[in-house]
Amino acid sequence: MFTRNLCARSLGLGLLLLACLSGSSPASAQLGKPEGLYYRSWAVVVGIEHYLLAPSIPGALADAKTMAQAFRQMGFDEVVEVYDKDASFRHLQQLFSDMLPRKVGRMDRLVLFYVGHSGVTQDADGKDLGYLVPSDAQVNNVAKSITFDQLKDFTRRLAAKHTLLILDTAVRGWEATAPQQLSLEGRLSPENDTERRAMQVITAGDKGEVSKRVGDASVFVKALLAGLQGAADLNKNGWLMASELGAYLEKEIPGVTQGQQHPISARLDGDGDIVLIEGRKAAFVLGAGPQTPAERQQAARAHYDQAFALLQEGKHVDEALERLNRSIELNPEFGDAYVLKSYLRLEVLPNLDEALTAGQLAVQHAPTNPDSYYTLGLIYEKRSRFPEAEQAFLQALKVSAGYQDVYFSLGLLYADRLKDQAKSVEAFRRYLELGGTDSRARAAVSQADTPSKP
């Protein structure tokens, strides 16, 4: 470890990669599963302060070296540092296209941190294409830059399970496979969840923005270091995932830059999530951490968001229920968690007793959410408590007068259960006026509007 870091500081890039990377075991040597989460952890730090053909970025080298030290303190096995003239176009191409793909193994993780200039152009289809500017290139010379297409190809060619790009530059221009959600990976069995491949990116800002610096220090790096030291551990369980880090930076940076800088967190490929800090496995199960009311509310929201994401994806519904129960345990007044649990227990994992209890608590703690009353009405209807279902639906409409689905459910309730055809037609008519298209509602209204024959 010490010898590799020493040579990284004292040699140029070409000799560095021969001396340091050649001493690492090849990717093909990794067989089976590692004892921990990864066989090896790689950090590649690229910092460019002095450009040959572009303005300098005062403080960029100091920021990059600070990040390199942070990765060492986090326990990364290999920390490769590439600074200024060594970060030329040719050397970066060699690093990304040949040397790292040959050395990074299939059960490794790799984090690339970059600070330097960037730009955005358009590809052949007119879509934004971001690029990073090497030390010997001009800012507007895409041909001599590292494009996001090349970076994405690099991450795909890597054998690594988990790859994270952290770019201290304001740029966009990639095709993400899906919006990045707060990940549940590792929450119960992190060793198994590292099987899921992940390629993620976090940028310091959006297209057209500037990565702010206070003096010679990067605002993004300051927040990034705070996040890595624990501030980004949203549910305070000792584990830090890339999705948590991205969500933290997306919330933190706009505040400290007065809305002038908006980080972006996205998934480039895969459906996993890189583990940045590994805590105790039991912490995921027991939910260790939050103590103050504010911390408990924040952790409750994180569990709720995780449950919501799982239900959106239509998988791991048992774990979604566990997340909701944990959310309610942390914050017994969290109304939206009761709303989601009542729906889950009604439609996804049916248990009408639990659904009813959650529904009643939902209207108590989330009285301004029309779904509290709507879901409770559906539960009452399924339990054959039809007058109570009617009152719950009507209360939902008091909260949200244009709730289309409630009118449809009322139409069915009046027609099939309460045997009030006039009210059924009235509800169906309002449903259609709000844009509903169900054939039964159309038929009921059409029949009511058709004059009866003498």
- Same domain assignment for residues 130 and 268: yes
pLDDT confidence of residue 26: 55
pLDDT confidence of residue 32: 46
Which pLDDT tens digit goes with each residue over 164-178? Answer: 999 999 988 776 444
- Same domain assignment for residues 380 and 435: no
Report the percentage of the chain scoring pLDDT > 90: 58
Q: Residue 402 to residues 63, 392, 420: CA-CA distances in angstroms?
A: 53, 15, 22
- Same domain assignment for residues 374 and 238: no
Residue at a domain's end among 254, 279, 304: 279
- Same domain assignment for residues 106 and 38: yes
**Could you tell me if residue 204 is inside a domain?**
yes
**Could you tell me if residue 397 is inside a domain?**
no
d(CA 80, CA 20): 8
Predicted TM-score (pTM) of the model is 0.59
d(CA 26, CA 43): 16
d(CA 246, CA 427): 45
> Do residues 358 and 342 lie in contact, with contact meaning Cβ atoms separated by under 8 Å?
yes
Taking 80 as the threshold, does the pLDDT of residue 116 lie above it?
A: yes
**What's the whole-number average pLDDT of the chain?**
84
- Same domain assignment for residues 17 and 165: yes
**Could you tell me if residue 179 is inside a domain?**
yes
pLDDT confidence of residue 367: 95
pLDDT confidence of residue 185: 41
> Do residues 425 and 444 lie in contact, with contact meaning Cβ atoms separated by under 8 Å?
yes
Mean pLDDT in residue range 310-338: 88
- Helices and strands in the chain: count of H runs, count of E runs: 19, 13
- Same domain assignment for residues 70 and 92: yes
Q: Give me the DSSP letters along 254-317.
A: HHHTTTS---EEEEEEES---EEE---HHHHHHT----SHHHHHHHHHHHHHHHHHHHHHT--H
d(CA 378, CA 362): 13
Residue at a domain's end among 232, 259, 279: 279
- Same domain assignment for residues 194 and 313: no
Mean pLDDT in residue range 311-326: 84
**Could you tell me if residue 363 is inside a domain?**
yes
**Could you tell me if residue 285 is inside a domain?**
no
Taking 70 as the threshold, does the pLDDT of residue 401 lie above it?
A: yes
State the Cα angle at 317 between 413 and 342, rounded to 5°: 35
- Same domain assignment for residues 270 and 345: no
Taking 60 as the threshold, does the pLDDT of residue 280 lie above it?
A: no
d(CA 389, CA 406): 11
Which pLDDT tens digit goes with each residue over 235-273? Answer: 777 788 898 999 999 999 999 999 999 999 988 877 788
**Could you tell me if residue 134 is inside a domain?**
yes
d(CA 356, CA 363): 11
The residue range of the domain holding 102 is: 2-25+34-279
**Could you tell me if residue 273 is inside a domain?**
yes
Mean pLDDT in residue range 148-172: 89
- Same domain assignment for residues 218 and 162: yes
> Do residues 374 and 396 lie in contact, with contact meaning Cβ atoms separated by under 8 Å?
yes
Least confident among 63-72, 124-133, 219-228, 434-443: 124-133
Least confident among 80-89, 115-124, 273-282, 427-436: 273-282
Q: Residue 81 to residues 13, 17, 60, 97, 447: CA-CA distances in angstroms?
A: 8, 10, 13, 17, 76
Give me the count of residues in the chain: 454
* pLDDT greater at residue 35 or residue 36: 36
**Could you tell me if residue 454 is inside a domain?**
no
Which pLDDT tens digit goes with each residue over 69-101? Answer: 999 999 999 999 999 999 999 999 999 988 999
- Same domain assignment for residues 308 and 369: yes
CATH number at residue 349: 1.25.40.10
Residue at a domain's end among 247, 279, 311: 279
Number of structural domains in the chain: 3
- Same domain assignment for residues 418 and 361: no
- Same domain assignment for residues 69 and 206: yes
Q: Count CB neighbours of 56 within 10 A.
A: 13
CATH number at residue 99: 3.40.50.1460
